[in-house]
Amino acid sequence: MFHSLSMPEPDKILALMPIFRRDERPNKIDLGVGVYRDASGITPVFRAVTEAESRILAEQTTKTYVGPAGDQLFCELMTKLVFSDHGPLERISAIQTPGGAGALTVLCGLIAKTAPNATVLVPDPSWVNHLSILEDFGLTAQRWSYLDKATGAADFEAMRRAVLSARAGDVILLHGCCHNPSGADLTREQWRDLGSLLVETGVVPFVDLAYQGFGDGLEDDAFGVRHLAATVPNMLVASSCSKNFGIYRERTGVAFVLGRTQELSKIAQANMVVRARIGYSMPPDHGARIVSTILQDDHLASDWRSELEEMRSTIVGLRQALAQAFRLRSQSERYDFLIGNKGMFSQLGVMPQQVERLRSEFAIYMVEDGRINIAGLHPDKIAHFVDAVTHVIRSS
């Protein structure tokens, strides 16, 4: 046994973590892993999360099994957070999952079961795990070039062409907001156009919503998902609580399906439960209990919203400061796209060998594709960062 296995390629993002930890240079900057960091470099526990946890600890009387679909109340509260009170809630079903990645896995399993021959259109670039999960289920992925090279914005025409070349029943994977890795999102008008196009072609949207609240705010970031839910007959949505509740390691997410009818939606949900039972039997409970404790309590919910909003505006401020520093250093507006990008990530347009030089010469860590986590930058380090990037680009 095992002799036919070879060592898999290490995950490029996770592989950076131990190397960064071992780096003893005092100026080191970690822009790799996609977690929010405050000004002191810490990924904080939200106040509301700490309070919810202490209530759970005081009040919980059992830790018996909950069930493969997870906590019903959590799913209801999350349905409203994602789709609002006005969505087609009767046609939406949900199960709690181990994080957003768990939701993606359950939903890819569902696609493989119901439409094994469907092609899944995947933006290029996208979160690397998207392709890995799809391929693991034997699904065929087809990439389309997501970014307009000249402007750095989403290339909607390329997306339109990809959808028009697909068959009815094929699937298109979309980032609900804060596109990872580029930060380039669709405009509202583009979401509307896309909705009409999907209705026309019968291509099914599969939306990954991992950063709700980090782009333009909790409600605005859900615009695309909500618009599509009001427009198309069928949809799949993977939502993550890792970032917006800061409970990364608690593995909390939701897999949603929107069905043409309530009955089809319930059948799809029952099939997701089967996927869950086979894959991990039941999702971990603690994170979901934290989220439902917060969302049920007006005081905790409003404190959570304001702390999330503080994080969001910190990122917006860092984006502005970074673009301004690049503007002064380069005497150009080349980096102004950083202001328009949403969420934690942007891509700097540096080559892998330049990324390597930034690490070896300046102790600046980023993903090979030039993705930076803006939240990893401290305002005091922006000048050093901009100097280093400029130096490496000019001298390569």
Q: Of 123 and 357, which CB lies nearer to ligand PMP in the complex structure? A: 123
34 binds ligand PMP (CB under 6 A): yes
Q: Residue 387 CB, nearest distance to ligand PMP (Å)?
A: 29
Contact with ligand PMP (CB under 6 A) among 107, 162, 194, 210: 210
93 binds ligand PMP (CB under 6 A): no
Task: Report helix angle 286-296 to 47-59, nearest 10.
Answer: 110
Active site residue 303: no
Contact with ligand PMP (CB under 6 A) among 87, 100, 109, 152: 100
287 binds ligand PMP (CB under 6 A): no
127 binds ligand PMP (CB under 6 A): yes
Q: By beta-carbon distance, which residue lies closest to ligand PMP?
A: 99
CB-based contact 171:118 (threshold 8 Å): yes
69, 210, 268, 288: the active-site residue: 210
Contact with ligand PMP (CB under 6 A) among 155, 170, 208, 285: 208
Active site residue 149: no
Site for ligand PMP in 231-270 (CB under 6 A): 240, 242, 248, 253
Q: How far apart are CA 303 and CA 259, in angstroms?
A: 34
Q: Of 106 and 355, which CB lies nearer to ligand PMP in the complex structure? A: 106
- Taking the CA atoms of the chain, what radius of gyration do you get in angstroms? 21
Q: How far apart are CA 122 and CA 173, in angstroms?
A: 5
Q: Residue 127 CB, nearest distance to ligand PMP (Å)?
A: 4
Contact with ligand PMP (CB under 6 A) among 99, 183, 287, 376: 99
Site for ligand PMP in 304-333 (CB under 6 A): none
Q: Residue 118 CB, nearest distance to ligand PMP (Å)?
A: 20
376 binds ligand PMP (CB under 6 A): no
185, 208, 221, 369: the active-site residue: 208
Beta strands at 119-124 and 171-175: parallel, antiparallel or unpaired? parallel
Beta strands at 235-240 and 204-209: parallel, antiparallel or unpaired? parallel
Active site residue 210: yes
Site for ligand PMP in 168-187 (CB under 6 A): 175, 180
Active site residue 208: yes
Q: Of 101 and 389, which CB lies nearer to ligand PMP in the complex structure? A: 101
CB-based contact 39:315 (threshold 8 Å): no
Q: Residue 208 CB, nearest distance to ligand PMP (Å)?
A: 5
155 binds ligand PMP (CB under 6 A): no
144, 243, 323, 363: the active-site residue: 243
101, 127, 285, 323: the active-site residue: 127
Q: Which residues contact ligand PMP (rule: CB under 6 A)?
A: 34, 99-101, 127, 175, 180, 208, 210, 240, 242, 248, 253
- Residues with catalytic function: 127, 208, 210, 243
